[in-house]
A and B are shown apart, each in its own frame.
Chain A
Amino acid sequence: MSRIGVFVCHCGENISRTVDVERVAAEIGKLPGVALATDYKYMCSDPGQGLLKKAIAEHRLDGLVVAACSPRMHEKTFRNAAKAAGLNPFLCEMANIREHCSWVHEDREEATAKAIDIVRLMVERVKKDKALQPITVPITKRALVIGGGIAGIQAALDIADCGHQVLLVEREPSIGGHMAQLSETFPTLDCSQCIMTPKMVDVANHPNITLHTWSEIENVDGYIGNFQVTIRKKARSVDMDKCTGCGVCMAKCPQKKIKSTFDRGLGTRPAIYVPFPQAVPNTPVIDRENCTYFKSGKCGVCAKVCGPGAVDYDQQDELITEPVGAIVVATGFELYTINEKPKGSPIKGYGEFGHGTIPDVIDGMTFERLASASGPTGGKILRPSDGREPKQVVFVQCVGSRAREKGISYCSKVCCMYTAKHTMLYKHKVHDGQAYVFFMDARTPGKSYDEFWRRAVEEEEAVYIRGMVSRLYQKGDKIVVMGSDISVGVQVEIEADLVVLATAVQPRQGADALAQKLGISYDTYNFYSEAHAKLKPVECATAGIYLAGACQGPKDIPDTVSQASAAAAKVMTLFSRDQLEREPIVARVNERNCVACFYCKKVCPYGAVEEKEIRDRQGNLVRVVAYVNPGVCGGCGTCQATCPSKSVELEGYTDEQVMAMIEAL
């Protein structure tokens, strides 16, 4: 007969308000095999855990059920407590009577009955639990950082400074990301390039960092401590070892009219290019779609002028596979465009703002390029349409953000601050100009942030109008802004020279595809999900993968840098040990019963099943059976459900444990 201890938690009043915890304990106490059933105010508190530890010793318990919150919340806590008291942690289970019961039901009678059921099922399960020993796996002390923006750069530098090898993979030809595009940064108005480029150079020079630009993640296999990452190094058409970065090829390229993505289409670049002068690495790449040589086979100027002979038109994409122990995902964001909606996207365009067809209606990032000293206008604010200096500039906040009807209901977090910054930059550059801002709320929680916004209003005389804009249309060379001021309760019409839209911060296109390769989860917008909103804000639910920056949600630079360092700290914590203990929730084969049909091998998503030969003492092959490599097994249990003879069992979720619960229904 089992000796199971059941502890029913009140969770303050969270559970006891709707569930009669005393009755639950009393009813469960009557079950055979239950040696002790009691209730307590806060099981997770120190005294609560003490109660549990004491009971294990006093009542010689051989199984525990803690009826409290979700196991996703506190399973670890109570298993550790059990372990501390000498009980194998896998003999401790949680019955979720909070998230699945007290919080979702109102009727006390019903909730109590359900709670009793939930606990009862768990008691039956624990009776079939077996003591499990953790699995240890070696750790490859080498990290992969995906994304070379400020988040990726910070994380890579921190890990590398700690003495570990880092692979930094960036999709674009240069690292730098969005921060390299910014003119000046709030709330200090220091120049973005001035603080960014030294860090980029540090990355390039760091002995522990291997940089793969113009590269993408092709595939990720393995698990924490033991990932195998395949990186696609896209054909650069320039040999990185030979190139000296002299720039002659770019100067001589006859194809010069390609719109620069880095400059948001305001400037142009040649077909062989670096995105911006301070690029790291300073090695150009050939844009094969626009290169005359690749389109028609004629030209070849860059190869002819290249002294070291670095231009290589025959270069192919290269796949390299690297072992790493941890992954930091720092893929950043992109801005919502007001253009018509992409196919299959929940996002609707802004037809009332012209669907992006009015040339002098631009987004915030484009304004950054206009204001940047290294930008296409040399830092002069000039209209894209006719190059004139705009005297009336209207800024519109919350374009796309906080608009569930357009597909995005969240706040993009950075727009209030950068719009305030834009009004200041504008005023500094165009003294006789006037900035107007249509806004709903000014959200400025951050150190020195509200002061910054107030300065824009009070000292730089930006006119803030509380209200949104219904429509924008071209009228001659002006843009008519039809807005309203809800404080006054009147309509406002402004004939503007330039309109700047603070469009929403969105995850990168293809963020979901990368998440699927990594096996991490993402929310409805494709922002990556952290393991816990408060307590595990940088970890993914998938062990060994960490998040940094705006790929997780809109963030400004200070938050991004903090999170990147936090992710790096998590990686270093992992790397501080030589071996990693893994939960022993893995599949094992009953070799006696296995008939070697290998359905398990066919369905295993991890390739963890091998064919094992059983030989007699003379070395003759007797039979072949399946074998599950516990280091590789992810613990999904698909093999067990598929196995016709149930010769493979997932520890922790054996048929016996499951059936015990079903029988108790």
Chain B
Amino acid sequence: MPTKNLLNYSYYPGCSLHASAKEYDESTKGVFRALRIGLKEVPDWFCCGATPAHNVDELLSLSLCAKNLSLADNVEGDLAVACAACFSRLKTTQHKLAENDIKRKQVEIAIDGAISLEKPVKHLLEILAKDYGLDRLADAVKKPLTGLKVATYYGCLLTRPPEVPELDCVEAPTIMENVIAATGAEPVAWSHRLECCGANFTLSRPGVVLNLSNEILASAKRAGADCIMVACPLCHGNLDIRQREIEEANGTRYDMPVFYMTQLLGLAVGVPAGKLGLESMIVNPLPLLREKQLL
């Protein structure tokens, strides 16, 4: 294939992907390589400020994101973002600064430079479903995930507020289902795919997380899902890392592997299992994958 057909993106992994979500980073790179999509990490990016920053200091949050956006300008291609929280912050920053001249001026002073809002910021889902295309994605599948029932979990930030991410319908999105269906897996219909997992309370108020995430796990189980698929390291942290705690606190047992979207995609498009960081998952997915003959 001529190289001009190849897609190329600049890449903002976000803090978690270099730490607790390193398997997300690893599998993302694997999938993109397999699909021949270029991914070049923005050098020296820093934290977007996540929820804590905008929670108490909007200007700081906007400034950090604006600075990252201007760093991203040095790398060719639309900006690919893996973490739903980073994606939400970067998009919100673009939206707010485009709309509000006062805030724009303040941020300009804070980062001591011009603000650039032109570069499209895209979540991996958008890249795979829209830029790359579902048909091409289906064609690229080497090992269909037939028989795997997946509960697709959007969490709260991927589609909200409606005017910002412009990713999909805010209340009835289908993009995750479409992507996973392209691999031959079966997305289940379930009720809690847009509920909040407790996200940033994981440190300060883990009790909250145990409560909210429990409902999500229960709903997925009720719907007959084999596993949950997420596109956000915070959701993953709460659903996977804290799953045992949740089970203990609620006296129940889920044993529900929680995959990053790219881990499942990686399996389907032929990324070697060893390069998907499956061993990093707290809830061991291997029994499930063996049972479904996906390994």
Residue positions of A touching B, CB distance < 8 A:
340, 350-352, 354-355, 473-475, 480
Nearest-Cβ distance from residue B36 to partner chain A, whole angstroms: 35
A355 touches B191 (CB 8 A): no
**Cross-chain pair count, CB within 8 angstroms:** 16
Q: Which residues of B contact A474 (CB under 8 A)?
A: 191
B170 touches A473 (CB 8 A): no
Q: Which residues of A contact B171 (CB under 8 A)?
A: 350-352, 355
B191 touches A475 (CB 8 A): yes
Interface centre among A350, A352, A473, A480 (most CB of B within 10 A): A473
A351 touches B191 (CB 8 A): no
Measured between alpha carbons, how far is A354 from B191 in the docked complex, in Å?
A: 11
Nearest-Cβ distance from residue A575 to partner chain B, whole angstroms: 53
Q: Which residues in chain B, 212-226, are within 8 Å of chain A measured between CB atoms?
A: 222
Interface centre among B169, B170, B171, B191 (most CB of A within 10 A): B171
Chain B contact patch, size range: under 10
Nearest-Cβ distance from residue B214 to partner chain A, whole angstroms: 16
Nearest-Cβ distance from residue B195 to partner chain A, whole angstroms: 9
Q: Which residues of A contact B222 (CB under 8 A)?
A: 475
Nearest-Cβ distance from residue A84 to partner chain B, whole angstroms: 59
- Asked if B56 CB lies within 8 Å of chain A CBs, one says no
Chain A: interface secondary structure? mixed
Measured between alpha carbons, how far is A473 from B222 in the docked complex, in Å?
A: 14
Who on chain B is nearest to A476 by CB?
A: B222
Q: Which residues of A contact B172 (CB under 8 A)?
A: 340, 351, 354-355
Measured between alpha carbons, how far is A355 from B170 in the docked complex, in Å?
A: 12
Measured between alpha carbons, how far is A475 from B191 in the docked complex, in Å?
A: 7
Nearest-Cβ distance from residue B165 to partner chain A, whole angstroms: 14
Interface centre among B170, B191, B222 (most CB of A within 10 A): B191
B169 touches A473 (CB 8 A): no
Q: Which residues of B contact A480 (CB under 8 A)?
A: 191
Who on chain A is nearest to B159 by CB?
A: A351
A-B pairs, 7 with minimum CB distance: A351-B171, A473-B191, A351-B172, A352-B171, A355-B172, A351-B169, A475-B191
Measured between alpha carbons, how far is A475 from B170 in the docked complex, in Å?
A: 21
Who on chain B is nearest to A355 by CB?
A: B172
Q: Which residues of B contact A355 (CB under 8 A)?
A: 171-172
Q: Which residues of A contact B191 (CB under 8 A)?
A: 473-475, 480
Q: Which residues of A contact B169 (CB under 8 A)?
A: 340, 351
Mask of B165-195 contacts with A, CB within 8 angstroms, 1/0: 0000111100000000000000000010000
Other 13 A-B pairs with CB < 8 A, given A340-B172, A352-B171, A475-B191: A340-B169, A350-B171, A351-B169, A351-B170, A351-B171, A351-B172, A354-B172, A355-B171, A355-B172, A473-B191, A474-B191, A475-B222, A480-B191
Mask of B198-215 contacts with A, CB within 8 angstroms, 1/0: 000000000000000000
Interface centre among B169, B172, B222 (most CB of A within 10 A): B172
Who on chain B is nearest to A357 by CB?
A: B172
Q: What are 16 inter-chain pairs, A to B, with CB distance below 8 A?
A: A340-B169, A340-B172, A350-B171, A351-B169, A351-B170, A351-B171, A351-B172, A352-B171, A354-B172, A355-B171, A355-B172, A473-B191, A474-B191, A475-B191, A475-B222, A480-B191
Who on chain A is nearest to B223 by CB?
A: A475
Measured between alpha carbons, how far is A350 from B170 in the docked complex, in Å?
A: 10
Q: Which residues of B contact A350 (CB under 8 A)?
A: 171
Q: Which residues of B contact A340 (CB under 8 A)?
A: 169, 172
Nearest-Cβ distance from residue A308 to partner chain B, whole angstroms: 52
Q: Which residues in chain B, 132-170, are within 8 Å of chain A measured between CB atoms?
A: 169-170
Measured between alpha carbons, how far is A351 from B69 in the docked complex, in Å?
A: 32
Q: Which residues of B contact A352 (CB under 8 A)?
A: 171
Measured between alpha carbons, how far is A480 from B222 in the docked complex, in Å?
A: 14
Who on chain A is nearest to B169 by CB?
A: A351
Mask of B275-289 contacts with A, CB within 8 angstroms, 1/0: 000000000000000
Who on chain A is nearest to B190 by CB?
A: A473
Who on chain A is nearest to B222 by CB?
A: A475
Nearest-Cβ distance from residue A472 to partner chain B, whole angstroms: 10
Measured between alpha carbons, how far is A352 from B162 in the docked complex, in Å?
A: 13
Nearest-Cβ distance from residue B1 to partner chain A, whole angstroms: 37
Q: Which residues of B contact A354 (CB under 8 A)?
A: 172
Nearest-Cβ distance from residue B56 to partner chain A, whole angstroms: 26
Mask of B220-253 contacts with A, CB within 8 angstroms, 1/0: 0010000000000000000000000000000000
Nearest-Cβ distance from residue A639 to partner chain B, whole angstroms: 46
Measured between alpha carbons, how far is A340 from B173 in the docked complex, in Å?
A: 12
Q: Which residues of B contact A475 (CB under 8 A)?
A: 191, 222
Nearest-Cβ distance from residue B182 to partner chain A, whole angstroms: 22
Nearest-Cβ distance from residue B166 to partner chain A, whole angstroms: 15
Nearest-Cβ distance from residue B249 to partner chain A, whole angstroms: 21
Measured between alpha carbons, how far is A480 from B172 in the docked complex, in Å?
A: 17
Measured between alpha carbons, how far is A474 from B219 in the docked complex, in Å?
A: 11
Nearest-Cβ distance from residue B96 to partner chain A, whole angstroms: 19
Nearest-Cβ distance from residue A404 to partner chain B, whole angstroms: 15
Measured between alpha carbons, how far is A340 from B170 in the docked complex, in Å?
A: 11
Q: Which residues of B contact A473 (CB under 8 A)?
A: 191
Measured between alpha carbons, how far is A350 from B222 in the docked complex, in Å?
A: 25
Nearest-Cβ distance from residue A651 to partner chain B, whole angstroms: 51
Measured between alpha carbons, how far is A196 from B171 in the docked complex, in Å?
A: 41
Measured between alpha carbons, how far is A475 from B221 in the docked complex, in Å?
A: 12
Q: Which residues of A contact B170 (CB under 8 A)?
A: 351
Nearest-Cβ distance from residue A483 to partner chain B, whole angstroms: 16
Who on chain A is nearest to B195 by CB?
A: A471
Measured between alpha carbons, how far is A91 from B171 in the docked complex, in Å?
A: 62
Measured between alpha carbons, how far is A494 from B10 in the docked complex, in Å?
A: 47
Who on chain B is nearest to A352 by CB?
A: B171
Nearest-Cβ distance from residue A342 to partner chain B, whole angstroms: 15
Measured between alpha carbons, how far is A352 from B195 in the docked complex, in Å?
A: 12
Measured between alpha carbons, how far is A351 from B168 in the docked complex, in Å?
A: 12
Nearest-Cβ distance from residue B8 to partner chain A, whole angstroms: 34
Nearest-Cβ distance from residue A473 to partner chain B, whole angstroms: 4
Who on chain B is nearest to A354 by CB?
A: B172
Measured between alpha carbons, how far is A350 from B171 in the docked complex, in Å?
A: 8
Measured between alpha carbons, how far is A473 from B172 in the docked complex, in Å?
A: 12
Q: Which residues of B contact A351 (CB under 8 A)?
A: 169-172
Nearest-Cβ distance from residue B174 to partner chain A, whole angstroms: 11
Nearest-Cβ distance from residue A661 to partner chain B, whole angstroms: 40
Nearest-Cβ distance from residue A30 to partner chain B, whole angstroms: 49
Measured between alpha carbons, how far is A474 from B169 in the docked complex, in Å?
A: 19
